[in-house]
């Protein structure tokens, strides 16, 4: 199995200045590259051998200063950019300029990957720009010397109105295509299509970052370490805003499982009766929805009706119809 590195073009330079890349009425290139790299990464399964270059850095600037990634450790390196025209066409003229790439003339592997991505995106109805051979790009040359398959993807022209309107409407599909091509190249899995919605999410990793915004480039403001359940009130891609106001978490199935909808009224989010199957023999029943409540017996294996649920103290609690109390639904399966 191979390993891939995803790089977001532009960003914070080695000297502390900031390179936004190309810009237009649609925004700055550095923001779009970080969003797309994050979306590509989120398409991979839990065991995928894929890494993201620090999105707080401009890889070109840091490499120029001598801090070069270990390109030899990767089978594929994909650097994502957005292109710009000599003369802006922000209003659009009814024609795409399209997607393309830069590859080293001697990097046949990088070219083959670029062709697969470009052809697949064009197949969605987008325009084709060109795949260009180059020996004048720093990261490209460094990766070439390391013997790594490298391509710099020019995803769309940021100052072409037709390109950007199409890209904004289809970016999730573009991210999926990129992940599928890279995943096939390195033998890593790509997740099935997932629709992320607000609701209650159960964290299943030991340390999940909270960020100030819905992308990997946003500042880390904290972390979740209790593998608890959390109320997500807003979704952006696969990122969810915490109801507490602490920030955003990545709700990808790599890290979380969506348990149910939320009704917006505190932690109480489901009052519809449903059945669960308990498969362990010694599940505690509590007098209230939380581990701080006194135990009220044991719930043996079997099927039970739940009439109310609440999220509290790191678990999702279900109130038994029998009136015996509450059980932690993480130890049961809905039937």
pLDDT of residue 296 exceeding 50, the answer is yes
Average pLDDT over residues 77-106: 97
pLDDT of residue 329 exceeding 70, the answer is yes
Report the pLDDT value the prediction gives residue 271, as an integer from 0 to 100.
Answer: 44
pLDDT of residue 286 exceeding 70, the answer is yes
Report the pLDDT value the prediction gives residue 292, as an integer from 0 to 100.
Answer: 79
Domain 199-260 has CATH 3.20.20.80: no
Q: How confident is the model at residue 103 (pLDDT cuts 50, 70, 90)?
A: very high
Look at residue 210 and give its three-state secondary structure: strand
Report the pLDDT value the prediction gives residue 46, as an integer from 0 to 100.
Answer: 67
The CATH class, in words, for 4-186 is alpha beta
* Domain positions in the chain: 4-186, 199-260, 271-334
Average pLDDT over residues 140-146: 98
Determine phi and psi for 2, rounding to 5 degrees: -90, -175
Q: Are 285 and 300 in contact (CB under 8 A)?
A: no
CA angle 114–116–118, rounded 5-degree value: 65
Report the pLDDT value the prediction gives residue 107, as an integer from 0 to 100.
Answer: 97
Which DSSP string corresponds to 78-107? EEEEEE--SS-BTT--S----EEEEE-TT-
Question: Where is pLDDT greater, at 260 or 168?
Answer: 168
Report the pLDDT value the prediction gives residue 203, as an integer from 0 to 100.
Answer: 86
pLDDT of residue 54 exceeding 80, the answer is yes
Report the pLDDT value the prediction gives residue 47, as an integer from 0 to 100.
Answer: 67
Nearest one of 269, 275, 262 to 334, comparing CA atoms: 275
pLDDT of residue 263 exceeding 60, the answer is no
188-217 core/surface letters (b: 16 or more CB in 10 A; e: else): bebbeeeebebbbbbbeeeebbbbebbbbb
Q: How confident is the model at residue 307 (pLDDT cuts 50, 70, 90)?
A: confident
- Which residue has tokens 């880390």? 220
Q: How confident is the model at residue 88 (pLDDT cuts 50, 70, 90)?
A: very high
- Compute the mean pLDDT over every residue in the chain, rounded to the nearest whole number: 88
Report the pLDDT value the prediction gives residue 309, as an integer from 0 to 100.
Answer: 78
Sequence-ordered list of residues with C-beta below 8 angstroms from that of 112, at least 6 positions apart, any chain = none
Report the pLDDT value the prediction gives residue 258, as an integer from 0 to 100.
Answer: 79
The CATH architecture one would assign to domain 271-334 is: Roll (2.30)
pLDDT of residue 322 exceeding 80, the answer is yes
Query: What gap in Å lies between CA 243 and CA 143, rounded to an integer?
Result: 43
Alpha carbon separation from 184 to 50, 181, 189, 248, 264 (Å, rounded): 12, 5, 8, 30, 41
Dihedral sign, Cα of residue 247, residue 250, residue 256, residue 259:
positive
Q: How confident is the model at residue 63 (pLDDT cuts 50, 70, 90)?
A: very high
- DSSP structure class, residue 322: T
Asked if domains 199-260 and 271-334 share a fold, the reply is: yes
Report the pLDDT value the prediction gives residue 266, as an integer from 0 to 100.
Answer: 32
Q: How confident is the model at residue 138 (pLDDT cuts 50, 70, 90)?
A: very high
pLDDT of residue 267 exceeding 60, the answer is no
Q: 258 forms bridges with which residues in the sheet? A: 201
Alpha carbon separation from 132 to 29, 70, 214 (Å, rounded): 20, 25, 33
Structure tokens at 326: 């509450």
Convert the pLDDT of each residue in 185-232 to its tens digit: 998 877 666 677 888 888 878 888 898 988 776 788 888 887 778 889
Report the pLDDT value the prediction gives residue 11, as an integer from 0 to 100.
Answer: 96
Report the pLDDT value the prediction gives residue 194, as an integer from 0 to 100.
Answer: 65
Alpha carbon separation from 163 to 20, 92, 158, 330 (Å, rounded): 19, 8, 7, 46
Which of 21-30, 119-128, 250-259, 300-309 has the least mean pLDDT? 250-259
């Amino acid at each position: 199995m191979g390993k891939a590195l995803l790089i977001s073009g532009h960003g914070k330079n080695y000297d502390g200045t900031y390179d936004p890349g190309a810009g237009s009425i649609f925004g700055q290139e550095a923001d779009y590259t970080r969003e797309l790299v994050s979306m590509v990464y989120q398409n991979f399964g839990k065991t995928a051998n894929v890494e993201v270059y620090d999105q707080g850095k401009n890889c070109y600037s840091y490499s120029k200063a001598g801090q070069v990634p270990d390109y030899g450790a990767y089978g594929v390196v994909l650097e994502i950019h957005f292109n710009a025209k000599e003369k802006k066409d922000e209003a659009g003229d009814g024609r795409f300029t399209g997607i393309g790439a830069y590859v080293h003339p001697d990097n046949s592997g990088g070219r083959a990957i670029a062709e697969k991505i470009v052809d697949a995106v064009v197949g969605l109805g987008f325009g084709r720009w060109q795949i260009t051979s180059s020996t004048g790009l720093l990261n490209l040359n460094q990766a070439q010397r390391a013997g790594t398959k490298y391509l710099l993807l020019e995803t769309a022209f940021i100052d072409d109105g037709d390109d950007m309107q199409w890209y904004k409407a289809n970016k999730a599909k573009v991210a999926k295509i990129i992940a599928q091509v890279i995943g096939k190249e390195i033998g890593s899995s790509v997740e099935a299509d997932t629709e992320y919605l607000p609701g209650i999410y159960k964290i299943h990793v030991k340390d999940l970052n909270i960020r100030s915004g819905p992308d990997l480039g946003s500042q880390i403001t904290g972390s979740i370490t209790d593998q608890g359940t959390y109320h997500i009130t807003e979704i952006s891609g696969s990122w969810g805003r915490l109801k507490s106001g602490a920030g955003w978490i990545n709700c990808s199935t790599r890290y979380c499982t969506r348990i149910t909808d939320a009704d917006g009224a505190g932690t109480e989010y489901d009052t519809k009766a449903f059945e669960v199957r308990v498969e362990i023999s010694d599940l505690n029943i509590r007098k209230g929805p939380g581990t701080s409540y006194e135990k009220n017996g044991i719930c043996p294996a079997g099927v039970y009706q739940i009439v109310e649920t609440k999220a509290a103290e790191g678990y999702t609690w279900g109130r038994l119809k029998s009136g015996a109390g509450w059980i932690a639904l993480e130890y049961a399966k809905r039937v």
